[in-house]
């Protein structure tokens, strides 16, 4: 093992140890409580900003959009918004960093669009806030089932990767046999065949659980008669969320690449095992959550 691989392995071990120390000491709970308090403060600030908009305060629009972005950023630091899902998928799969960032962007935008459709669809049908929130709760089991489908895809692919390659005995080949057909699908072909299904399931599962802050904002701006600004604020809020989910996805992808450099011989089986474990965990958690929500 050369110095670069040793450094990468030590760095990954250090990250794991720090994460374990944070969990054991309860710092994660303290941080979560602090983030919830920040989210509440941002919601109060959003309400004050909206009241300033109603009075025609100059500069209130830019301040309001800045608060929307900050709320999306800090809200995404807390639980939810698909960070763990995207990071787990990024570590277990062979997705490129570019694809992971695209997934994070699509998921954040999807959450915003679902929130907009839910609120204004609910207003059009019922004109009642409790009905809108009821619709949001109604689609949560569908989101869990979509994510469970992603877990099944990861599980299936991990099992297939652990299987030994089949040997064709009908006629001999060498590396340049020129027989006119492919001996086995290459990595790019495998990624292209299954990647879009996984991305669709992942994005749909995250998007179908819209941000509560976005629902709050859209309902409030509708009541104040500034619907367009509420929709714009929701999109800006999604941009703040995207920064955090993209960061989580990038860190997971870089960790996977570092592990592959540190353990080149064992990495194919290791990542196949990671896909299997991730798939099983996702299936169990999502199905149990869906059953509780039904």
Task: Indicate whether 94 belongs to any domain.
Answer: yes
pLDDT at 105: 92
Do the domain assignments include residue 182?
A: no
145 in a structural domain: yes
- Asked whether residue 181 is assigned to any structural domain, the reply reads no
pLDDT at 112: 92
Token pair, residue 48, equals 């004050």
**Residue found under tokens 């030994």:** 164
Is residue 169 in a domain?
no
Residue 59 CA to chain centroid, in angstroms?
34
Domain residues for 16? Answer: 3-163+187-293
Please give the tally of structural domains in the chain: 1
Q: How many helices (H) and strands (E) does the chain have?
A: 10, 0
pLDDT at 227: 85
180: left (phi over 0), alpha (psi -120 to 50) or beta: left
Asked if residue 150 belongs to a domain, the reply is: yes
Give dist(CA 231, CA 248) in Å, integer.
26
Residue 154: closest CA among 284, 243, 246: 284
Question: According to the model, what pLDDT value does residue 9 have?
Answer: 54
Report how far residue 269's alpha carbon sits from residue 158's, in angstroms, rounded to the nearest whole number. Answer: 9
- Which is it for the CA torsion 86, 92, 94, 96, positive or negative? positive
What sign results for the dihedral spanned by CA atoms 28, 136, 205, 243? negative
What pLDDT is stored for residue 236 in this prediction?
93
Residue 177: predicted pLDDT: 46
Segments of the chain scoring below 50 in pLDDT: 1, 24, 27-28, 166-171, 173, 175-194
Phi, psi dihedrals of residue 20, rounded to the nearest 5°: -65, -40
Cβ–Cβ < 8 Å for 111, 205: no
Question: Can you read off the two tokens belonging to residue 226?
Answer: 């500034």
Q: What's the pLDDT at 12?
A: 54
Q: So what's the pLDDT on residue 287?
A: 78
Cβ-based neighbour number of residue 291 at 10 Å = 10
Concatenate the DSSP letters of all residues of 144-189 into one string: HHHHHHHHHHHHHHHHHHHSPPPPP-SS---TT---SS-SS--HHH
* In a domain? residue 155: yes
Contacts for 241 with CB less than 8 Å, ≥ 6 apart:
72, 73, 75, 76, 81, 108, 111, 211
For 147, phi then psi, to 5°, come to -70, -35
> Does the residue 233 lie in any domain?
yes
Using DSSP, state whether 294 is helix, strand or coil: coil
Quote the tokens at residue 168. Answer: 């064709």
């Amino acid at each position: 093992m050369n110095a670069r691989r040793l450094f990468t392995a030590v760095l990954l071990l250090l990250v794991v140890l720090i994460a374990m120390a944070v969990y054991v000491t309860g710092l994660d709970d303290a941080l979560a409580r602090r983030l919830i308090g920040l989210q509440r403060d941002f919601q109060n600030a959003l309400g004050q900003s909206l009241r300033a908009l109603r009075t025609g305060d100059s500069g209130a629009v830019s301040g309001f959009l800045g608060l929307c972005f900050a709320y999306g950023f800090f809200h995404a630091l807390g639980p939810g918004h698909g960070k763990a899902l995207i990071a787990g998928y990024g570590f277990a799969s062979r997705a490129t960093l570019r694809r992971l960032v695209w997934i994070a962007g699509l998921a954040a935008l999807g959450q915003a669009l679902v929130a907009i459709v839910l609120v204004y669809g609910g207003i059009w049908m019922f004109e009642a806030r409790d009905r809108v929130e009821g619709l949001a709760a109604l689609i949560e089991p569908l989101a869990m089932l979509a994510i469970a489908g992603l877990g099944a895809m990861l599980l299936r692919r991990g099992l297939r990767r652990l299987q030994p390659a089949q040997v064709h005995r009908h006629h001999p080949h060498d590396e340049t046999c020129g027989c006119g057909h492919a001996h086995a699908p290459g990595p790019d072909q495998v990624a292209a065949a299954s990647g879009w299904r996984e991305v669709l399931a992942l994005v749909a599962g995250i998007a179908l659980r819209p941000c509560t802050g976005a629902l709050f904002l859209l309902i409030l701006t509708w009541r104040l008669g500034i619907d367009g600004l509420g929709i714009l604020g929701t999109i800006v809020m999604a941009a703040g969320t995207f920064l955090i989910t993209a960061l989580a996805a990038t860190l997971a992808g870089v960790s996977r690449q570092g592990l592959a450099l540190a353990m080149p011989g064992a990495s194919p089986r290791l990542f196949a095992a990671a896909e299997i474990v991730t798939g099983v965990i996702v299936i169990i958690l999502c199905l149990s959550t869906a059953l509780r929500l039904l």
